[in-house]
């Protein structure tokens, strides 16, 4: 019992300690008002870093390029505020250029109104775009907090002031980059936002989450509407990088017909591409798309285009009057239209569909079926069968020792059945990711390594039990110790492995719900374990007192034994019901992704 309790305590300490050590991940929403990092020291006086912009004037809706540069720095925090009231809330919103180094934060009620770092990686230069809101003040000043090292930082470094037309010139000096760009691009914008009207009746739609609004900041949307010999395609989703969909003959990447909307410096390029294996897409030099338009507002990227149902002159383009699996993905994009691998699993339809056939309004799943089964079987094995089997062996020997099942003690048969079921479920689940991945995954972190260790211990445990010495053999105590330590190690590693697996892109259970639920299960199991351990100790002490008194020993022992049996049976029933609730919660979450 002591080992799982100790492991749980150490794990909780690490979690809370890691969250208290500054903000290396840039989640500094607590500094939205004063822009001061919680580093326990005073800020420096003379700034070493500068903020530059590419223009002096703006109108609502314009884009201003903002650059932060200087000697190596680890962290930063950028806002735009009313130049006349620098203590007022942040003004406008930002668009990222490099999502590997910077991320958007929401300060107050304004979405994407601040930019911060993503890690402690040293950097010399950050570029973002500021979008002027419709209700912008006459003059806006950019401010930045820069962290060179943990104890060395500058707060609210003053940057340039940009003004709306016919506003008096600012007194703060303006730094203008030598490579200034236009604040607006002569491109084809969508005349109105994409909407879901006609889904299921006039057009074929895919939505995630189900029935979501394409204008929502959390909705991924794809629609196909046939118009004579062509199809109007609309795509929308929360992405500062790129959105893409692909038509595929199977649920595996490779040999697919892909379409990408790529945000490059707040200008969207729409292109076709071919997917070969799991390599980056190869953009086509010739574009078969017509009526191309796009819209990028509030972090939601929307694009629309038209293509013919059949394109025999273009190699790699599928006919749209056939049935396919449909993939919908999003990811990061860098300068020059460079796109990066999507961080999370693409949305994949559960079956093949003809987008020019009967209009439908469907969803999909971001977790492949094999990975869902893998997660479900592991939860069943280690949340139910293994945990209950351990409780039975540890505390129910005296309760079920006089009951026989198939010629052996009942507790032993139940324990063996549950543990063999755990071995079988773990073995089946273990091979599924390898089948899906086609080999070893380099992107899964420590999860596969720990999984292999758990699998090895799971196989070793019943093999060792097959050579169990007789009850009174000299080596029985040594066997008992090895049997307990191997099983306990396997259980602890299994829980840690499940913690790591829940947030992998292939499964990606709802966060932080998954973490809290898993912590709840560990606390539940340890609590029941401690409760039964205390009860057993108290029962032993009571029996010892009865034996010392030497009065009505037989009757009192029988009464104590009956009392202990009833209590354990009640706790066991509650424990099984609790484990079932946790299991149902996890299986329901897996079914919804």
pLDDT digits (tens, 9 = 90+) for 249-260: 987 778 899 999
Please identify, among 317, 337, 365, the residue that sits at the C-terminal boundary of a domain.
Answer: 365
Please identify, among 332, 365, 398, the residue that sits at the C-terminal boundary of a domain.
Answer: 365
DSSP state of 199: B
Q: Which residue has the tokens 């007194």?
A: 171
Quick one: average pLDDT of 500-511?
76
In this structure, are 535 and 389 located in the same domain? yes
> What is the rounded distance in angstroms from the CA atom of residue 181 to the CA atom of residue 169?
21
Structure tokens at 89: 């809330």
> What is the rounded distance in angstroms from the CA atom of residue 238 to the CA atom of residue 1?
47
Quick one: average pLDDT of 446-451?
92
Sequence-distant (≥ 6) Cβ neighbours of residue 323 within 8 angstroms:
352, 353, 354, 357
Q: Is the residue at 35 inside a domain?
A: yes
CATH code of residue 104? 2.60.40.4060
Q: Is the residue at 581 inside a domain?
A: yes
> What is the rounded distance in angstroms from the CA atom of residue 133 to the CA atom of residue 155?
25
Of the listed ranges 94-103, 145-154, 459-468, 504-513, the least confidently predicted one is 504-513
Sequence-distant (≥ 6) Cβ neighbours of residue 339 within 8 angstroms:
241, 242, 260, 262, 280, 281, 331, 332, 333
Computed on alpha carbons and rounded to an integer, the radius of gyration of the chain in Å comes to 31
In this structure, are 335 and 417 located in the same domain? no
> What is the rounded distance in angstroms from the CA atom of residue 581 to the CA atom of residue 200?
36
Of the listed ranges 31-40, 184-193, 394-403, the least confidently predicted one is 184-193
- From the list 117, 113, 114, the residue with the least C-alpha distance to 102 is 117
- Helix then strand then coil, in percent of the chain rounded to 5, is 35, 30, 35
> What is the rounded distance in angstroms from the CA atom of residue 244 to the CA atom of residue 236?
10
> What is the rounded distance in angstroms from the CA atom of residue 245 to the CA atom of residue 208?
13
Number of domains in the chain: 3
> What is the rounded distance in angstroms from the CA atom of residue 580 to the CA atom of residue 388?
11
Q: Residue 574 to residues 28, 157, 392, 569, 580: CA-CA distances in angstroms?
A: 42, 59, 14, 9, 10
Structure tokens at 68: 């932060």
Rounded to 10 degrees, the C-alpha dihedral 193/197/202/203 comes to: 50
In this structure, are 483 and 549 located in the same domain? yes
Q: Is the residue at 182 inside a domain?
A: no
pLDDT class of 151 with cuts at 50, 70, 90: confident
In this structure, are 397 and 542 located in the same domain? yes
- From the list 153, 120, 144, 166, the residue with the least C-alpha distance to 53 is 144
In this structure, are 90 and 53 located in the same domain? yes
pLDDT at 344 over 60: yes
CATH code of residue 406? 1.20.120
Of the listed ranges 308-312, 486-490, 506-510, the least confidently predicted one is 506-510
> What is the rounded distance in angstroms from the CA atom of residue 562 to the CA atom of residue 540?
13
In this structure, are 397 and 503 located in the same domain? yes
Question: How many CB atoms are located within 10 Å of the residue 184 CB?
Answer: 13
Structure tokens at 509: 């259970």
Sequence-distant (≥ 6) Cβ neighbours of residue 493 within 8 angstroms:
450, 453, 454, 457
In this structure, are 429 and 578 located in the same domain? yes
CATH code of residue 209? 2.60.40.1210
Q: What is the distance, to the nearest Å, from the Cα of residue 370 to the centroid of all Cα atoms in its chain?
A: 18
Q: Which residue has the tokens 């002027």?
A: 132
Predicted confidence at residue 309, as pLDDT, reads 95
> What is the rounded distance in angstroms from the CA atom of residue 390 to the CA atom of residue 396?
10
Where residue 211 falls (left for φ over 0; alpha for ψ -120 to 50; beta otherwise) is left
Please identify, among 365, 390, 410, the residue that sits at the C-terminal boundary of a domain.
Answer: 365
Q: Is the residue at 2 inside a domain?
A: no
Q: What is the distance, to the nearest Å, from the Cα of residue 296 to the centroid of all Cα atoms in its chain?
A: 24
Q: Is the residue at 137 inside a domain?
A: yes
Q: Is the residue at 173 inside a domain?
A: no
In this structure, are 112 and 214 located in the same domain? no
Q: What is the reported pTM?
A: 0.56
In this structure, are 391 and 293 located in the same domain? no
In this structure, are 319 and 422 located in the same domain? no
Looking at per-residue pLDDT, the higher value among 303 and 168 belongs to 303
> What is the rounded distance in angstroms from the CA atom of residue 255 to the CA atom of residue 272?
13
Predicted confidence at residue 11, as pLDDT, reads 45
Predicted confidence at residue 339, as pLDDT, reads 77
pLDDT class of 509 with cuts at 50, 70, 90: confident
Sequence-distant (≥ 6) Cβ neighbours of residue 312 within 8 angstroms:
none
Predicted confidence at residue 560, as pLDDT, reads 55
In this structure, are 124 and 142 located in the same domain? yes
The answer to whether 304 and 291 have CB atoms below 8 angstroms apart is: yes
Per the structure, the complete domain to which residue 310 belongs is given by: 188-365
Structure tokens at 487: 């099983």
pLDDT class of 370 with cuts at 50, 70, 90: confident
pLDDT class of 194 with cuts at 50, 70, 90: very high
Q: Which residue has the tokens 């879901």?
A: 196
Sequence-distant (≥ 6) Cβ neighbours of residue 530 within 8 angstroms:
1, 5
Q: Is the residue at 21 inside a domain?
A: no
Q: How many helices (H) and strands (E) does the chain have?
A: 9, 24
Q: Is the residue at 257 inside a domain?
A: yes
In this structure, are 453 and 489 located in the same domain? yes
Question: By CB neighbour count within 10 A (0-12 exposed, 13-18 middle, 19+ buried), where does 259 fall?
Answer: buried
pLDDT at 16 over 60: no
> What is the rounded distance in angstroms from the CA atom of residue 59 to the CA atom of residue 64?
10
């Amino acid at each position: 019992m002591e080992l799982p309790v100790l492991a749980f305590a150490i794990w909780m300490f690490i979690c809370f300690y890691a969250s208290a050590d500054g903000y290396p991940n840039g989640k500094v929403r607590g500094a939205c008002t004063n822009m001061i990092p919680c580093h326990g020291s005073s800020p420096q006086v003379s700034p070493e870093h500068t903020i530059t912009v590419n223009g002096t004037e703006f109108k609502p809706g314009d884009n201003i390029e903002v650059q932060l540069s200087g000697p190596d720095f680890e962290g930063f925090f950028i806002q735009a505020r009313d130049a006349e009231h620098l203590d007022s809330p942040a003004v406008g919103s930002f668009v990222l250029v490099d999502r590997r180094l910077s991320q958007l934060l929401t300060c107050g009620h304004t979405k994407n109104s601040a930019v911060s770092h993503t890690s402690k990686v040293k950097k010399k230069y950050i570029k973002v775009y500021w979008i002027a809101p419709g209700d912008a003040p006459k003059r806006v000043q950019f401010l930045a907090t820069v962290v060179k090292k943990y104890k060395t930082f500058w707060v609210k470094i003053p940057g340039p002031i940009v003004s709306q037309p016919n506003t008096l010139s600012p007194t703060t000096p303006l730094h203008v980059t030598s490579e200034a760009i236009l604040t607006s691009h002569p491109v084809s914008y969508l005349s109105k936002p994409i909407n879901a009207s006609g889904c299921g009746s006039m057009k074929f739609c895919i939505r995630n989450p189900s029935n979501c609004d394409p204008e929502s900041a959390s909705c991924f949307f794809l629609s196909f509407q046939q118009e004579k010999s062509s199809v109007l395609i609309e795509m929308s989703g929360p992405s500062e990088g790129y959105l893409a969909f692909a038509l595929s003959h199977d649920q595996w990447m490779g040999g697919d017909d892909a379409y990408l909307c790529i945000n490059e410096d707040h200008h969207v390029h729409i292109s076709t591409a071919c997917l070969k294996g799991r390599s980056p897409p190869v953009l086509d030099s010739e574009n078969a798309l017509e009526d191309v338009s796009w819209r990028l507002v509030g972090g939601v990227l929307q694009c629309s285009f038209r293509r013919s149902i059949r394109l025999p002159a273009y190699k790699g383009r599928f006919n749209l009057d056939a049935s396919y699996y449909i993939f919908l993905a999003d990811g990061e994009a860098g300068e020059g239209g460079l796109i990066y691998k999507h961080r999370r699993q693409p949305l994949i339809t559960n079956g093949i569909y003809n987008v020019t056939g009967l209009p439908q309004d469907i969803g999909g799943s971001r977790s492949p079926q094999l990975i869902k089964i893998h997660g479900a079987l592991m939860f069943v094995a280690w949340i139910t069968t293994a945990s209950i089997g351990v409780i039975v062996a540890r505390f129910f020997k005296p309760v079920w020792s006089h009951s026989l099942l198939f010629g052996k003690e009942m507790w032993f048969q139940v324990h063996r059945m549950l543990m063999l079921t755990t071995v079988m479920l773990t073995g089946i689940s273990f091979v599924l990711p390898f089948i899906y991945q086609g080999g070893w995954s380099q992107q899964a972190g420590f999860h596969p390594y720990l999984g292999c260790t758990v699998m090895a211990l799971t196989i070793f445990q019943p093999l060792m039990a097959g050579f169990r010495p007789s009850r009174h053999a000299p080596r029985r105590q040594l066997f008992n110790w090895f049997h307990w330590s191997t099983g306990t190690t396997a259980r602890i590693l299994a829980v840690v492995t499940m913690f790591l697996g829940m947030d992998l892109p292939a499964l990606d259970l709802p966060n932080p719900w998954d973490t809290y639920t898993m912590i709840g299960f560990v606390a539940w199991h340890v609590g029941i374990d401690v409760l039964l351990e205390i009860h057993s100790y108290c029962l032993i002490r009571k029996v010892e007192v009865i034996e010392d008194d030497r009065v009505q020993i037989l009757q009192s022992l029988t009464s104590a034994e009956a009392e202990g049996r009833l209590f354990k049976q009640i706790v066991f029933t509650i424990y099984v019901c609790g484990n079932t609730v946790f299991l149902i919660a996890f299986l329901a979450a897996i079914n919804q992704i």
